[in-house]
Structure 1
Amino acid sequence: MYLHHVAAYLPVAVVTNEHFTRLNGLASDWIIERTGIRERRKAASDENANTMAIAATRALLAEIPAFDAASIDLIVAGTYTPHDTIYTAAHAVQRELNINEIPVVSISSACSSLLNAVEIVEGYFALGKASRALVVVSEHNTAYNNEEDTMAGHLWGDGAAALLFTKEPLAPGDLHVVQVLTGGAAPMGKADEAVTLKPVDKGIVMPYGRDVFQQACTYMARITQQLLDAHQLPVAELSYLIPHQANLRISANVVKQLGLDPARAVNNIDRLGNTGCAGAAIGLAEIWSKIKAGDKIIITVFGGGYSYGAMLLEKPV
């Protein structure tokens, strides 16, 4: 399986830390020290998870004009912040593309949804049910977030990304999806209550941030090392590591455990905040033009409910 292209969409509005200083007294330096976040994007009043999914898809297709969008035969969307749980982001993208009678799937496994979506594509490809799949990840965190929550209200940002996967390469520069590994650690720690989104109650809350931090550091490093070992890939030969964009300290901890050069870690949380399952895909879009032949990339993720995963990508020589 191959990744032909990826593109991202970010809302225009920028919310700096000073907004939260004015709102509830949280100092910008305090937020930066604990999370690495300096600013984040916020969707406009007429935007939502569906519209951002469409915008990311439009951006993707605009960057690969020679590709025939009508040949897409599978759409998988991931989000835990849906605009509608019935007419999902996947359906919205299908309607935008005007491709009838193809499978459309919408999933949520918290911030690891990106890699679970890729696994779904792997399954369809393996069964011969599809050969060109669009994966879209979109989060509208600010629709659910309580900004007055001093524990987690300042963490969240909005954004989306779209990725085109094909069973066979479309161009010499397509990235080979070497392997995807995912798992769930729901029996561990405070997985059942560490991060929750209950719209009727308080929206997104994170009452057990320390437990999230510890489990994220453990499982992201573990699954990444497992992937490296499976392919006898020394960490020094890894070109980029794109971790889930939850906290800059988590990323730094994972990098340290792996013994990776920090310069090879891709981070956008300082500019975008926690963009959920879209964050790592947005990071991949941001470095896409820099990827060279022979480069090896690992995306590693961890989400609420303590789902996790890692994916190894390689650009053929």
Structure 2
Amino acid sequence: MMTIAHPTENSAFASSARITAIGSYVPEQVITNAEIEQLVDTDNEWIIRRTGIIERHKAASDQFTSHLAIAAVKDLFDRFPATSAEDVDAILVATTTPDMPFPSVASQVQQAIGALNCLAADVSAACAGFVTALQMANGLIMTGVYRKIIVIGAETLTKITDYTDRSTCILFGDGAGAVLVEAAASGAFLSSVATTDGSGGMQVYCNDDHKIVQNGREVYKWALSTVPDGVRKLVQSAGLQLGDLDWFVPHSANLRMIEAICERLDIAPEKALESVVRNGNTSAATIPLALDAAYKANKLQPEQLVALYGFGSGLTQSGLLLRWTLSSN
């Protein structure tokens, strides 16, 4: 069984950041399980039984990751009008599917929203990318130089999905989620953990044909054997217990995987927030999409304890424990 080093515990960092706004976007086109049935030897019942996925969204041929990221940020601005692009100090975009090697997706978001004198950078940490970018945002805020940072998870995975591979084409979709992270006198970020085991990195990779290749069985075994311990360390390093959690937000790779992780942690499945059922696996976007769906449904309330935990290709994991600070709609 694959093993990894214990996560690095960073609970000593000062609580100095909090999430103050959120937005999301998914493309209009939907790929149903019935459509997948027409492409490979599979069926709706098998897909749901194995993954829980009902449908996923697909970007148009002329729609790329930057477009999704920009739309998510504009949704954030529309819903939280007190937020101004002029006040944004940095933009971090977590993605493995940038429009092109350079310029960065973040720089395209910067130009589109008109954020002046703004740091802009992409973060490549696959399905752990959004949480990793949140950790980086907290570190930037701790310097005292940065006050407001937009963190985005955005992917167009359908553009690199092999629709002849029945083991992977059922999984992936496109989408984007964004949050505004601000400095605060009393921060809400409580603890973090992070680890990488590069020896297993090729269990999920993009091949020379620019298509996703995944050893799903091995990734599933790795996640179930390592993620629960990472989540425990994340919570315990803040002096808390798993029972204190109001919500658990793991990477939405597969609904059955989420259920299995919850079982190993003795967390009630209804405490897990997901985005996979209606969006598929959107890699770096799964966690912000799950957060925004829960926020819109008035599930997330101020002062609730929320554990975010991303994991995936690398093999990498990133966790962040926070107090939710946004009031309901």
Q: TM-score, normalised by structure 1?
A: 0.93
Greater Cα offset, 222-231 or 272-281: 222-231
Deviations 1:153-194 (A, max 9, x none): 12100000111001126xxxx98121222111223xxx2321
Distance across 1 between alignment mates of 2:263 and 2:216: 20
Quote the Cα distance in structure 2 between the aligned partners of 1:292 and 1:126: 25
> What amino acid is the match of 2:133?
A
Q: Show the counterpart of 1:179.
A: 191
* 1:111 partner letter: C
Out of 7, 31, 34, the position equivalent to 2:47 is 31
Corresponding residue of 2:260: 253
Whole-angstrom CA distance in 2 between matches of 1:309 and 1:227: 9
1:266 and 2:273 matched: yes
Structure 2 letter corresponding to 1:254: I
Displacement of 1:294 in angstroms is 2.9
Partner of 2:8: none
Deviations 1:17-70 (A, max 9, x none): 111211112111111121111111111122110000000000001111122221
* Residue 140 in structure 1 maps to residue 140 in structure 2: no
Q: Normalising by structure 2, what TM-score?
A: 0.89
Q: Does 1:120 align with 2:136?
A: yes
Q: Output the CA distance in 2 between the equivalents of 1:231 and 1:107.
A: 26
Indicate how the Cα distance of structure 1 residues 301 and 14 shifts in structure 2: closer, same or farther if over 3 A, else same: same
Paired positions, count: 308
> Equivalents in 2 of 1:53, 1:87: separation in Å?
14
**Of 184, 203, 206, which aligns to 1:197?**
206
Give the Cα–Cα distance (whole angstroms) in 2 for the partners of residues 296 and 285 of structure 1.
16
- Maintained 8 Å contact 2:55/2:280: yes
- Counterpart check, 1:162 vs 2:181: no
Residues in 1 aligned to 2:73 and 2:280: alpha-carbon distance in whole angstroms? 22
Query: Does 2:282 match 1:275?
Result: yes
Aligned pair partner of 1:19 in 30, 35, 44: 35
State the SS of the aligned residue for 1:111: helix
Find the aligned partners of 1:9 and 1:85 in 2 and give their Cα distance. Answer: 23
Specify the alignment match of 1:42 in structure 2: 58
Give the Cα–Cα distance (whole angstroms) in 2 for the partners of residues 45 and 201 of structure 1.
18
Deviation at 1:149, TM superposition (A): 1.0
String of CA shifts for 1:98-123, please: whole Å, max 9, x gaps.
12332111110111011111122122
Runs (5+) with no aligned partner, structure 1: none
Q: Which amino acid aligns with 1:195?
A: V
Residue number among 282, 291, 297 corresponding to 2:300 in the alignment = 291
Equivalents in 1 of 2:92, 2:129: separation in Å? 10
Alpha-carbon distance in structure 1 between the residues aligned to 2:217 and 2:256: 12
Q: Which amino acid aligns with 1:203?
A: K
For structure 2, the residue ranges without an aligned partner over 5 or more in a row are: 1-16
1:56 aligned to 72, 85, 96, which one?
72
- Greater than 3 Å deviation, 4+ residue runs: none
Q: Determine what percentage of the aligned residue pairs are the same residue.
A: 28
Structure-2 change in CA distance of 1:148 and 1:217 (3 Å): same
1:2 aligns with 2:2: no
The answer as to whether partners of 1:109 and 1:116 remain within 8 angstroms in 2 is: yes
